[in-house]
Amino acid sequence: MITRPRQIEIENAVVGLLKDFGITQYPMGINVIAEALGIQMVPYSSLSFAERQLAFASSDDAFTMRTNDFTSAQVLFDDTNGAYYYRSRFSCAHEVGHIYLEHTEGLLNCESEANYFAGYLLAPHPLVLRRKPGQSIKDLFGISGDCAQVAFEQAQRREREGGCWRPHEYWLIKNVEWKGGGAYGRI
């Protein structure tokens, strides 16, 4: 479990990333974020049969490969099962979170932090709270039903905290543009 102050640090990191690279379109493609950070996205379908077998042995969803000096990174992700499209978006965002937050193996709470990063990147609380009545979080943000439920619960907790919007939250409200996009563009 990560503390609320650490969650707010991660929220600020997400918004800082969006600001730094001028990313204001939602739902945004994870590939846009990865490209901005110099992270190569490698779909399992682009691998040879033997490489794909090794990839699946590492993870059914996605995983990160980095050079020893952390100067280069790849996110390999399963794109071979269309039923898991929304899952792939979250898994890729999760792996980008590990890289952006500079996680190293064995770091306490790194999985929870990467999950929080991915969730906030894909469906930030202020945008969830300000959606039009009746709009599906899942469809609006291009996330799974499970991720949408977590985003909704986290947004409700933020609402219960009360107070004014924090600067990073206000930036999202003021700057995000809603646009559609093709399936690959939204991975």
What ranges do the domains of the chain cover?
4-175
pLDDT for residue 46: 94
Report d(CA 21, CA 180) in Å as an integer: 20
pLDDT for residue 82: 67
Q: Up-side HSE of residue 129: CA atoms within 13 Å toward CB?
A: 18
Burial of residue 98 (CB within 10 Å: 0-12, 13-18, 19+) is: buried
Per residue in 8-24, pLDDT tens?
999 999 999 999 999 99
pLDDT for residue 57: 94
The whole-model pTM stands at 0.90
Per residue in 41-80, pLDDT tens?
999 999 999 999 999 999 989 999 988 777 889 999 998 8
Contact 34, 40 (CB under 8 A): yes
